[in-house]
Amino acid sequence: MGICPKCLAESDNLGALCTCAQSHIIRESAVQAAQTDRLLGRLIARRFALVDELGAGAMGVVYEAIQHPIRRRCAIKVLQADLSKKESLRQRFIREATAASRLNHPNLVTLYDFGVEEDGLSFIAMEYLNGFPLSELTPYTDLDIDSVVHILRQILRALAGAHKFGVVHRDLKPDNIFLCELSGDKQFVKVMDFGLAKLTEDDSLDRELTMAGEVFGTPLYMSPEQCLSAADIGVPSDIYSFGALAYEIICGRRLFDGKNAMAVMHAHVTKAPPPLFPRPGLELAAKLHDVVARCLVKEPAKRYDSANAALHDFEEALGLRSGPAIKSPDLKKQIEDDSDMVALTPSMFDLKVNAASVTTQSSSWLHAPPQGAPRWLIPGRDEIRAQRDPALKKPEDNKS
């Protein structure tokens, strides 16, 4: 049942224009929010009726919408009105839309449209995802080995898909990994939120958005080079972020922790990654340790040069594919080389900067749903591990 936020008339036609002609029909559960949120019930771009608020973040609000005339359910991301006036943030919003519009991959969120309304309201329309962010599963103790492999494998596929179209994500983290039910798979991965994405053929905007004392990204998963500079960040940076994420999911703890952002960034630049000790009950092939270790090498040129290469070795380590393996480097030598880098980096990393002055800019939008809102993000948790990737059969099971 829906309701008009203006005249309070009830209707079953969600998203339709009310007979009072003052608003479109919204979800009944959103009536209270509509008292302070004037966008609920509004029609965006003459076809997207905002019917509910899904979540809010520092950058803006995400709404559920009904697209007319096809009545497709979708999600609308709206930049806060006051932030729309800030050129750097408006450019970042446009960057996200531009990057997402290039992408075409099952594991990447699909963008339908984006634009700016006459009153300056900036919006992005994208596919509606029914699920929850990976961050809600921390510390990942409910994920068995099959789930871990299934999720990490899809993340690499998503990165490979983005890199194919010249897009580097630059803010890979659990909040931006969405698990939803699709095609019978209850752990289908969608990588989202390309607010910090870099278009590899054009770094002019990076130079414009790089400001003294400001770091773009999420420190817990930032590559060493990203901690040092917002410029010259490419595919290897995403590979490192994947490694940090994989480490956390496998071990149940973060790669590096610290009392503040500065301390974490300093660790990424100067400290060798701690040994990968899987959490209790999780056994991994030794070769998979090598794959994660290579992702976390300090020097970008010594990591995997593509997500496809990392995916190849990832699958090879688990016996999920046949064919010639991509030659792995001498990891022992890499660690020794990294120790040399550790001796060099303090002069590059200005430790005199007050930690409080470091501002980290993340593209994270979606926080917890508003108080009292339906938990649309959370499907049945008992079923989360029910789906398994057919490719995860033991090698001998695949023999005919």
Annotated catalytic sites, by residue?
171
Do residues 166 and 69 touch, judged by C-beta distance below 8 A?
A: no
Q: What is the dihedral of CA 306, 308, 313, 315, to 10 degrees?
A: 150
Q: Is 329 exposed, middle or buried (0-12, 13-18, 19+ CB in 10 A)?
A: middle
What would the two tokens of residue 365 be?
């939008």
In the three-class reduction of DSSP (H, G, I as helix; E, B as strand; rest coil), residue 50 is classed as strand
User: What is the C-alpha separation between 32 and 332, in angstroms, rounded?
Assistant: 60
Sign (positive or negative) of CA dihedral 45, 50, 54, 60: positive
Do residues 114 and 124 touch, judged by C-beta distance below 8 A?
A: yes
Neighbour count for residue 254 (Cβ, 10 Å): 18
What would the two tokens of residue 219 be?
């420190």
What secondary structure does DSSP assign to 298-316, as a single string? SSGGGS-SSHHHHHHHHHH
Sign (positive or negative) of CA dihedral 78, 357, 234, 254: negative
Give the contacts of 312 (CB within 8 A, at least 6 positions apart). 321, 325, 326
Give the contacts of 227 (CB within 8 A, at least 6 positions apart). 215, 219, 265, 266, 268, 269, 349
